[in-house]
A and B are shown apart, each in its own frame.
Chain A
Amino acid sequence: MLQPKRTKYRKAQKGRIHGNAKGGASLNFGAYGLKAITPGRITARQIEAARRTITRHMRRQGRIWIRIFPDIPVSTKPAEVRQGKGKGTPEYWIARVKRGRIIFELDGVTEVIARRAFELASAKLPNQTKFVQRAGN
């Protein structure tokens, strides 16, 4: 799973996801892409599950690019612990994904395969997504 090698601070504030993506909203590498149309937090596990689904559907063809990185630690409190006594321990990593952000890109496969792969991958993600492709493809 994706996670940073090192971080400046161990815990992060919760934050909110406002507005549309300022960058990473257009295809940069592949011919097809999966774009988030609702905001959401995508965990490293979800990215990995979606990536596996795509790679398995492509069956040794094509190339995949992951355009998001889960660099925000999320902490949770253990079960049956009273409130207070400080912030919980970091448990998993998330990427904050704004509307319009390209999550995955694909190339080297047909449009039919790419569409189906992204449809399967989208089911693993919390955001609503749409399929995008480069002009002329």
Chain B
Amino acid sequence: MVEAVTVSVEVRERTGKGAARAQRRAGRIPAVIYGDKQDPITISVDDRELTKLFHSPRFFTQIFELNLDGEKHQVLARDLQVHPVTDGPLHVDFMRFNQETRIVLLIPATFINDELSPGLKRGGVLNIVRREVELLCSPLNIPGELVFDLEGLDIGDAIHIGATELPEDVATTTDRDFTVATISAPTLMPSDEEEAEPEEGEEGMDGEEGVDGEVVSEDTAIPDPSDDGANSND
């Protein structure tokens, strides 16, 4: 079990967007504690303290002990809203739990022995299909990470969830042996051809698309800008 991280929080008296914005201006992030069949409590967390915490990949699998005026709440962070431009936190949901609680969590997948994979040595790319795996577990028994071994994997090979052993009392949410990652060939670099004949490559592409446009719909094809006849508006 992971050690709980203590965070001091304050009760938020006013709710709504005006009050929430005022809190953010004052350097505090609005949050809520809910769950365990008790009434929700609106709180606020220090901006800098929260920013440090949520940059960890284990933010959602870490148990927090919220210190609310001397009262302790054992919670898990269940949701985090971030600003689309600044990526700063806007609001956090904390959920209380008890011994019987079973929750679905996203556990980070990590990959080891990449130097022992012939596929990666040959220039292949580890294409991670699921960076996080959805698991059903108790909050008191959250696996820190799921480790997958890349040894001996070549380009075209895939790693499935069955490749790792899940801890006791932890299950996946589906019965399928789903893919977690694949070793794929790198993005094709057409630069060799392009550098030889850059203009021709581009024109060829336009031409193909023009033909496609004619077949499907005459409307879409945009003529080559260099073609003056097509630009005539009279």
Chain A residues with CB under 8 A of B217: 6-7
Say whether B223 faces chain A, with CB atoms less than 8 Å apart.
Answer: yes
Say whether B108 faces chain A, with CB atoms less than 8 Å apart.
Answer: yes
Contacting pair B56 A135 (CB below 8 A): yes
Contacting pair A81 B222 (CB below 8 A): no
Report the interface size for chain A: residues with CB under 8 A from the other chain: 47
List the count of A-B residue pairs having beta carbons below 8 Å apart: 112
**A interface SS class:** loop
Give min CB distance, A47 to chain B, whole Å. 13
From A21, A93, A108, give the contact of B84 (CB < 8 A): A21
Chain A residues with CB under 8 A of B190: 55
- A95→B66 CA distance, assembly (Å): 44
Q: What size tier do the contact residues of chain B reach? A: 35 or more
Q: With A5-B216, A62-B186, A132-B87 as given contacts, are A78 and B231 in contact (CB-CB < 8 Å)?
A: yes
- A10→B217 CA distance, assembly (Å): 10
Chain B residues with CB under 8 A of A5: 212-213, 216, 220
Nearest CB to that of A85 among chain B residues? B233
Give min CB distance, B225 to chain A, whole Å. 6
From A3, A59, A81, give the contact of B220 (CB < 8 A): A3
Contacting pair A89 B219 (CB below 8 A): no
Please give me the 5 A-B residue pairs with the lowest Cβ-Cβ distance, nearest first: A100-B84, A136-B57, A25-B84, A108-B125, A10-B219
